[in-house]
Amino acid sequence: MSDQAEKSVTAPEKEEAAKTEEKVPLYTGYDLDYFVTPKDLIDAVRKLDQAGFFLEDISCLDMKEGFQLVYHFDRFDQPGRVGLRVMQDRENHDVPSIHHIYPGADWHERECFDFFGIRFKGHPNLLPLLLDPDHQGPPPLIKDESARKSLEELYPDRVTTPVNIEDEQFTREITNCSNPKYRNPS
């Protein structure tokens, strides 16, 4: 199939999706999604811990602005996914480790260290987890400079300024993060 034919097939799909988006925004899997500064991360994670969340995983992206770490949290009794995004400079890593709040983060952080070379501040045991300790060369998921995309390209029409986590609104939102619209589609 040529590229043109492919476009004609997917175009009506996109229009359909755009139409439904106006009524109910398409569920992206995140009930709440914030950008936070590395400085605020520990406090934000502590608030999530107090609200009974568990850590699903820590994902990382290589982009033009540096690295983006995405922490996924969810809750057992009142499900709802919260994403915390932290931007990291390519050279100076100042993101703190959260292993003392969530011990499960230990391995996730080591995985990010493996694949992206991110040095989490205060991590007790930052050794290669999945890669060979003798691995030479750059971390495998680092992109070529030409392949990196910027925040605007990957997240069009999104506010990427960090939120103020001291705000009451943040605490209130994460406490009531379950969106019934997404949780009970029927």
Partner 1 sequence: MNLDLRLDTSGDFYAQKFQPTKREDTLILNMGPQHPSTHGVLRIILEIDGEYIVRAQPVLGYIHRMHEKMAEVMSYPQYLPNPARTDYLHALAWGWAHVGAVERLMGLEVPERAEFIRVITCELNRINSHLLWWGAYLLDLGAFTPIMYAFDDREIIMDIMQRVTGSRLTYCYYRFGGVSGDIDDRFVSETREQCARMKERFKMYKALVTENFILRKRVEEIGEISVDTCRRYGATGPVLRGSGQEYDVRRAEPYSVYDRFDFNIPAYNDCDAMGRYLVRMDEMQESIKIIEQALDALPEGDFIHPKAPKRAKPPAGDVYFAVEGARGKIGMHLVSDGGKSAYRLKLRAPGFSNLSLFGEVSQGTLISDAVSILGSLDLVIPEIDR
Question: Which one of 37-45, 88-96, 127-135, 169-177 is the stretch in contact with partner 1 (CB under 8 A)?
Answer: 127-135
If one counts every other C-beta atom within 10 angstroms of the C-beta of residue 117, the result is 16
Binding residue for partner 1 (CB under 8 A) from 36, 61, 86, 165? Answer: 61
d(CA 35, CA 31): 14
132 binds partner 1 (CB under 8 A): yes
d(CA 94, CA 86): 10
Answer yes or no: are the C-beta atoms of 88 and 68 closer than 8 Å. yes
> How are the residues of the chain apportioned to helix, strand and coil, as percentages rounded to the nearest 5?
35, 20, 50
Question: Which one of 1-9, 38-46, 87-95, 161-169 is the stretch in contact with partner 1 (CB under 8 A)?
Answer: 1-9
At closest approach, how far in Å is the CB of 159 from partner 1?
Answer: 14
At closest approach, how far in Å is the CB of 118 from partner 1?
Answer: 14
Binding residue for partner 1 (CB under 8 A) from 106, 120, 170, 177? Answer: 106
Helices and strands, counts by H and E, the chain: 6, 4
83 binds partner 1 (CB under 8 A): yes
At closest approach, how far in Å is the CB of 38 from partner 1?
Answer: 20
